Amino acid sequence: MNLWRRKARLAAVAGMAAVAVVAAACSSGGSAPPSSSGGTVVKGGTATVALPPSTTLNWIYPFYAITNASVYNGEQFQWLMYRPLYMFGSNTNNNVGINYSLSPANEPVYSNGGKTVTITMKGWKWSNGEPVDANSVLFYLHMTMGQKANWYAYAPGLLPDNVTSATASGNTLTMNLNKAYSSIWFTYNQLAELTPMPQSWDVTSLNGAPGSGGCTTDSAADKWAKCAAVNAFLTAQSKQAATYATSPLWSVVDGPWKLQAYSTAGNVTMVPNTKYSGSPKPQLSAVKFVPFTTSATQFTALKTGQINIGVIPSEDLPPKPANSVLPATNPLGSGYNLQPFYQFSISYAQPNFNNPAVGFMVRQLYMRQALQEVMDQVGIIKAIYRGYAIPSSGPAPNSPPGNQWIPSIQNQNNGQGPYPFNIAKAKAALTSHGWSMVGGVMTCQDPAKCGTGIKQGQQAKFTYIYSTGSASATAMWQTYKSDASQAGIAINLVGQTFNTIIGQSAPCSPMSSKCAVQVFAFGGWAFNGPGFEPTGEPLFQTGAGSNSGNYSDPKMDNLINGTHTNSSMTTFDDYATYGAQQLPFIWALNPYYIQAVSAKLHGVTFNALYTLLPEYWYFTK
């Protein structure tokens, strides 16, 4: 099982692709078809959901740095309580579009040739009676303006840099932009990052009067000092996880759920927000999230009926049939129904281009090619994941299969892209650039050929930190290490928890001693924020807040910028093709999960954006 940070999505495209995006954007969130079991619907009940191994829900404040960004803290924790300006995905398996019916704002209106956007709120209420109005959005927007360095979604030149002015009046927010943008891109990848926040959070103490912090009315005149003070307070409060369920701050919600109990060990219980303005209203009495240290212990909990929802580890599944996405037999029997869970995502290991030990090496394209060519995605999928995975091969998601964003280059070599598994070719790439085998490890003998910054005697040694808790993921990286060694590349594997790894993932200065991580191998990036079209600004743009590996390429920057204003699919293909060729990441296979759901729990689906909507769930006898 791989674990995910939040992801971004792409710019708008023309023709049939654009039609598909717009169609998804206009769809509403319907519940899954009721079970055919014919059981009697039970009012209430508690649904128990397994968290991924070694993962906890550990950040509640919806304005945060990359070190706290994950799909679990976002879509599966915060979104249940604090609705973003625009919700994405629905209670279906395949909708990755915008969902206005579940959002607190109506569809934005673009005017002035695309340089002005007007947002009208629906008139929802916070649970304390405050309006979810334009000021709620302006509060968050001002925070982005004053705290760019602390916001995971920031990319230079984009939100909030591209907003020249913003005014709030009642339920109407008007934003003027520095130039005309694609309306789909700006909605999906800019407005989507805004989350309304209540005035009761615009404070600098727990007993402060709502709005007394002054961030909602702050400006650049004081260098956003008020927002800085409010953010420092809210961030400090979010670090006090033990108080989440009791704090007067976090009890103010506008989503369908609120916290009843929270344990720093990982147990979280949510109950319905009886004052929720939206629809549908929750039918369950509670949803309980339960932590596990390994996939094996979680599977045991499924087998013994301790949880209602969980993942069947790939090692416990029979091989995937050629003509089906689900196994031919159910390892859990009739007590659970099985569903596939694809992720709109890419999987990878992320080299740190600024690491003082390996940065000069990974800046060489031939070295990245060699690191890619020792990754046997097809073999690992078959031997370890039993067929329940697909390759990643570039910045566009290969998952779900057949989605409209995949450029032709990524479909080459059975989905491995331009650099399929080939140990001999990897070895040849190194020897042709001045390396030779010394003691079983490739060693630079000719610095003029090895590349800028690489010294004679430098060895091709890399430390990958990978996320623990999954036997399959561990086996994958061990296989990679073994294959790499045959090409003379020495891989040192260090296992850490997912939360620990992302806690080290802030971008760092070139060759700084603070850039301690050599290669991040935590899992991948789901294209569900920052941004919901799979353009590359959060991951690959120079200086982006989620660019943990500090990748920088002027051509890549230009190609990314082109997707923001040009709606042609060719423009997107140019960007994605270049990314597949340049290898800012070492692409890894992208598993899809087989989710088990209690046969008595209905309305449950697994959206490819990780959107979790337990308000649709219900039990039957």
pLDDT in tens, 494-522: 999 888 888 888 889 888 778 999 999 98
Q: Is the pLDDT at 362 greater than 80, yes or no?
A: yes
- What mean pLDDT do residues 440-462 have? 98
Q: Is the pLDDT at 126 greater than 90, yes or no?
A: yes
Among 90-94, 207-211, 447-451, 488-492, which stretch is predicted with the lowest mean pLDDT? 90-94
Question: What is the per-residue pLDDT for 545?
Answer: 80
- On the CB side of 255, CA atoms within 13 Å amount to 29
Which position has the higher pLDDT, 188 or 38?
188
The predicted-structure confidence for 405-438, as pLDDT tens digits, reads as follows 899 999 999 999 999 999 999 999 999 999 999 9
Question: What is the per-residue pLDDT for 161?
Answer: 97
Instruction: Give one DSSP letter per residue of 177-215, joined into a string.
Output: ESS---HHHHHHHTGGG-----GGGS-SSTTPPTTTT-S
Q: Per the structure block, which two tokens stand in for 199?
A: 């005035």
Rg of the chain over Cα atoms, rounded to whole angstroms, equals: 24
Which position has the higher pLDDT, 470 or 13?
470
Report the CATH fold assignment for 345-591: Dipeptide-binding Protein; domain 3 (3.10.105)
Q: Give the integer Cα–Cα distance in Å for 362 and 52.
A: 31
How buried is residue 126: exposed, middle or buried, by Cβ count under 10 Å (0-12/13-18/19+)? buried
Architecture of domain 105-253: Alpha-Beta Complex (3.90)
- What mean pLDDT do residues 50-60 have? 92
Q: Give the integer Cα–Cα distance in Å for 257 and 255.
A: 6
Question: What is the per-residue pLDDT for 289?
Answer: 98
Q: What percent of the chain shows pLDDT beyond 90?
A: 77
Q: Give the integer Cα–Cα distance in Å for 609 and 19.
A: 19
Question: What is the per-residue pLDDT for 286?
Answer: 98
Q: Per the structure block, which two tokens stand in for 387?
A: 């067929």
Q: Give the integer Cα–Cα distance in Å for 581 and 284.
A: 49
Among 29-33, 164-168, 576-580, which stretch is predicted with the lowest mean pLDDT? 29-33
Question: What is the per-residue pLDDT for 5?
Answer: 53
Are 62 and 195 in contact by the 8 Å Cβ rule? The answer is yes
Alpha helices in 392-497 (DSSP H): 412-415, 423-431, 447-450, 471-486
Q: Is the pLDDT at 470 greater than 90, yes or no?
A: no
Question: What is the per-residue pLDDT for 16?
Answer: 24
Please state, in angstroms and as integers, the Cα–Cα distance from residue 30 to each residue in 102, 134, 528, following that order: 10, 27, 19
DSSP-assigned letter for residue 31: P
Helix, strand and coil in the chain, % to nearest 5:
30, 20, 50
Helix (H) or strand (E) holding 351: strand 345-351
Please state, in angstroms and as integers, the Cα–Cα distance from residue 110 to each residue in 118, 175, 180, 181, 314, following that order: 6, 10, 10, 10, 46
If one looks up domain 31-98+255-342+593-621 in CATH, what number appears?
A: 3.40.190.10
Q: Is the pLDDT at 10 greater than 90, yes or no?
A: no
- Residue boundaries of the structural domains of the chain: 31-98+255-342+593-621, 105-253, 345-591
- What mean pLDDT do residues 166-183 have? 96
437-443, Cβ contacts within 8 angstroms, sequence gap of 24 or more? 437/488, 440/485, 440/488, 440/490, 441/488, 441/489, 441/490, 442/487, 442/488, 442/489
The predicted-structure confidence for 386-399, as pLDDT tens digits, reads as follows 999 999 999 999 98
Are 423 and 618 in contact by the 8 Å Cβ rule? The answer is no
Could you identify the residue written with the tokens 């000021």?
A: 135
Q: Give the integer Cα–Cα distance in Å for 79 and 77.
A: 6
- What mean pLDDT do residues 64-89 have? 93
Q: Give the integer Cα–Cα distance in Å for 413 and 199.
A: 54
Q: Give me the amino acid identity at 185.
A: W
Q: Is the pLDDT at 356 greater than 70, yes or no?
A: yes
Q: Give me the amino acid identity at 202.
A: D
Average pLDDT, the chain: 91
3-state SS string over 532-590?
Answer: CCCCCHHHHCCCCCCCCCCCCCHHHHHHHHHHHHCCCHHHHHHHHHHHHHHCCCEEECE
Q: How far is CA 557 from the centre of its chain?
A: 21
For residue 558, the tally of other CB atoms under 10 A from its CB is 12
DSSP-assigned letter for residue 10: P
- What mean pLDDT do residues 169-192 have? 94
Question: What is the per-residue pLDDT for 66?
Answer: 82
How buried is residue 79: exposed, middle or buried, by Cβ count under 10 Å (0-12/13-18/19+)? buried
Sign (positive/negative) of CA torsion 219, 220, 223, 227? Answer: positive
For residue 270, the tally of other CB atoms under 10 A from its CB is 26
Question: What is the per-residue pLDDT for 503?
Answer: 85
Are 345 and 529 in contact by the 8 Å Cβ rule? The answer is no
Q: What percent of the chain shows pLDDT beyond 70?
A: 94
Q: Per the structure block, which two tokens stand in for 4?
A: 């995910």
